[in-house]
Amino acid sequence: MKKLFCILLLAANLAHAEASLPALTAEQWRQDLEFFANEITTKHRDPFHFIGEAEFDQAVSKLRQRIPSMKDYEVVAGLQHLSALIGDGHTFLDTSGLYARFPLEGFWFGNDFRVIRAAPEYRKALGARIVSIGSVSIGEAQQRVQQFIPQAENQWYVLNSSAKQLMSVEPLAAAGVLPDPGSAEFTFEDDSGRRFKLRIRPVPAGASKSGEVAIEPVPLPFQHPEEALWFTYLADSQTVYVDFRSYQDLQTQSARLWDYIGRHPVSRLIIDMRWNQGGNFTKGREYLIYKLIFMPALNRAGHLFVITGRGAFSAGMTNITDFRRETEAILVGEPTGARPNGYQENHLFTLPLSKLRVSCSMLRYRFQPESATHAVFPDQRIDPDWSSFSAGNDAALQWILARP
C-alpha cells in the first residue's frame, strides 16, 4: 500500500539561496497572477472549502487592477494574501528569505506579546511587552497581518503565525502598519509598567539569528531551537525530557535516545512536540511510537507524557494523534496549531516570471473523529505562563514534573 507522506514545507523552512524580492513590470506580475490563480484552483484538493469561488475570483480581480500602482513588495504580499484566502496552512506563498525582519522574537502570553529574543543592541527590550509598532497598537497590528495568515486551521495556528508576521517588515508596510519597509519606533512596557521606546532597524532578508540573545534564564523547552531532536536527563525525578522539533535524521537521533534510556534508570519520559512543524509522520510512527508501544515500563499512565502546543502542525500534529491512539501518553499543554481533519500534502509550483514558489494542498486527511475537528486538545490544558517563563520555567513541564 502506497504510503502517504505528511510533508510540511512552511515558508520558514524552505531554503531560498540568495533570494530577493523580484522586480517585474505590471504586465509580468499580471501574468504570474493568472498562472498562480489557475494553479491554485485546479491543483488544490478543494480550493473553495473555506472561501467561495466568487469571492476568491473577486480578490484576484482586485489585485490585478491594483498592480500598476503597487510596489513589488506589495504585489508579493498581495499574492501571499490570496494564498491565505484558501484557508489551510499547507497552501501558501513561500516568502522565506524574501522579507526583511525586525531582529526581535515575540511570543504571545495570553494577550501580551513579549520579546523573548533580540539582537544585542536591543537587549533592553527582552521580557518587555510590545505595546505598539509605530503609531499602531499591537492588537491592531495583529488584526492587520491576519490577512496573510490562513484562517481555516484554528486560532492557535493564527496565534503562532502572527508572531512571525509581526516581525516581517514588508507585510507590515503592505498592511499599513508602517509607512514603508524601514526602521520603526517600537513602544515597550516592562513588568513595572514603565514604557519606553526603541527605534528598531530591520535586518536583511535571510539574516542569521545566531547572534541574537535570549531572555535569561532560558526555560528548558526554549534552549535548543536549532536542533531537530535533543534530550536531557532530569536525575531528581528519573525523567528524560525530549524536545522533538523535526524529523531530520530521526532514525539516528531516536536510536541515541533509546540507547540512553536503556542504560539509565528512567521512570518517566516527556516528549515535547509543541514546536514540531511537520515532516514524514510515518517516521515518527516507526522510530518513536512503535518503539514505545513495546516499552511497558514507560508506556503506561503517569510515565509517558506528550507536550502539545500552537506550533504543532502537519506531521507533528498527526503523530500527536498517534500517541493518543496507540500509547497511554497523557497530552499536556495547548491545543495543536492544526486541525486533525484537514488539508495536507504539498503540490509545489513556481511562478514563471517572478520565480516565487507556491504550495497548495493535494489531499484531505482524517486523523480523529469528526466531533472534535478544530485541534488536538490536550488531556491537561496548560497555556504558556509569563510568570513561569520569566523565572526560567515552563508551565506545562512544571505540571508534569510535579506529579508523583
For the whole model, what pTM was predicted?
Answer: 0.91
* Contact of 78 with 88, CB cutoff 8 Å: no
- Over residues 138-184, the pLDDT tens digits come to 999 999 999 999 999 999 999 999 999 999 999 999 999 999 999 99
Domain ranges in the chain? 104-139+154-214, 220-345+365-401
Asked if 104-139+154-214 and 220-345+365-401 have one fold, the answer is no
Mean residue pLDDT of the chain comes to: 93
187, three cell numbers: 513602544
> What's the pLDDT at 5?
36
- Over residues 227-280, the pLDDT tens digits come to 999 999 999 999 999 999 999 999 999 999 999 999 999 999 999 999 999 999
HSE at residue 284, side-chain half, CA atoms within 13 A, is 28
CATH fold, domain 220-345+365-401, is: 2-enoyl-CoA Hydratase; Chain A, domain 1 (3.90.226)
Distance CA 332, CA 321 (A): 13
Q: Please give the average pLDDT of every successive group of 10 residues along the chain, which has 404 residues.
A: 36 45 96 98 95 97 98 98 96 94 97 97 98 98 97 95 97 97 97 98 90 93 94 97 97 97 97 95 96 96 97 96 97 96 90 97 84 86 97 97 93
369, three cell numbers: 473523529
> What's the pLDDT at 187?
98
Does CATH place domain 104-139+154-214 in 3.40.50? no
* Contact of 112 with 386, CB cutoff 8 Å: yes
